[in-house]
Amino acid sequence: MKIKERILWMVTVLLLLFIVIFHPLEKVKAISLEAEKYLQIFHEVVSYIETDYVERMDEESLYQGAIKGLISSLNDPHSRFMTQDEFKELQDETRGSFGGIGIEVTYQDKSIIVISPIDDTPAMRAGILPQDRIIEINGINTKKMSIAEAVKVMRGPVGSTISIKIKRKDFIDPILLTLVRELIKINYIKSSYMEKEKIGYIRLSQFMGKENTGREFEKIVKKFASYNPKGIIVDLRLNPGGLLDLAIDLSDLFLQKNLTIVSVKGRDGKLIKIYKATDSPKKVMDVPIVVLINAGSASASEIFAGALQDNKRAIILGTQSFGKGSVQNIYPLPHNTGMALTIQKYYTPSGVSIHKKGITPNVVVYPITPSDIDKVYLEKIYREKILSNFVEKFPGYNAKNKRLFKELLTNKGYNIGTTIVNYILKKENNLGRAADIYDTEFDPQLEKAIELILDNKAIPK
List pLDDT tens digits, range 74-97.
Answer: 988 889 898 888 787 777 665 555
List pLDDT tens digits, range 157-178.
Answer: 889 999 999 998 878 889 999 9
Residue 154's φ and ψ, nearest 5 degrees, are -75, -25
- What's the pTM? 0.76
Q: What is the pLDDT of residue 399?
A: 96
Residue 434 pLDDT greater than 80, yes or no? no
Least confident of 53-62, 82-91, 216-225: 82-91
Question: How distant, in Å, are the alpha carbons of 185, 259, 342 from that of 158?
Answer: 12, 46, 32
| Confidence label for 28 from pLDDT (cuts 50, 70 and 90) | very low
Which residues sit opposite 373 in a β-bridge? none
Annotated catalytic, 299?
yes
Annotated catalytic, 173?
no
List pLDDT tens digits, range 377-415.
Answer: 988 898 899 999 999 999 999 999 999 999 999 999 999
Nearest in space to 410 (alpha carbons), one of 369, 375, 376, 377: 377
Q: Which of 190, 324, 345, 375 is the catalytic position?
A: 324
Q: What is the pLDDT of residue 148?
A: 75
Q: Which of 191, 299, 321, 326 is the catalytic position?
A: 299
Other beta carbons within 10 angstroms of residue 393's beta carbon come to 9
| Confidence label for 243 from pLDDT (cuts 50, 70 and 90) | confident
To 5 degrees, how large is the angle CA 148–CA 74–CA 103?
30
Q: What is the mean pLDDT of residues 308-323?
A: 97
Which amino acid, one-letter code, is at 207? F
Q: Which of 120, 252, 310, 374 is the catalytic position?
A: 310
Residue 419 pLDDT greater than 90, yes or no? yes
Annotated catalytic, 324?
yes
Higher pLDDT, 14 or 262: 262
Other beta carbons within 10 angstroms of residue 315's beta carbon come to 26
Mean pLDDT of the chain: 88
CA distance linking residue 250 with residue 216, whole number of Å: 11
Query: Which DSSP category does 359 fall into?
Result: P
Give me the domains of the chain, ranges plus CATH numbers: 3-57 (no CATH), 97-185 (2.30.42.10), 189-367 (3.90.226.10), 372-442 (no CATH)
Q: What is the pLDDT of residue 29?
A: 55
Q: What is the pLDDT of residue 98?
A: 64
Question: Which helix (DSSP H) or strand (DSSP E) does residue 111 occupy?
Answer: strand 111-117
CA distance linking residue 134 with residue 166, whole number of Å: 4
Please say whether the beta carbons of 243 and 269 come within 8 A.
no
* 3-state SS, residue 189: strand
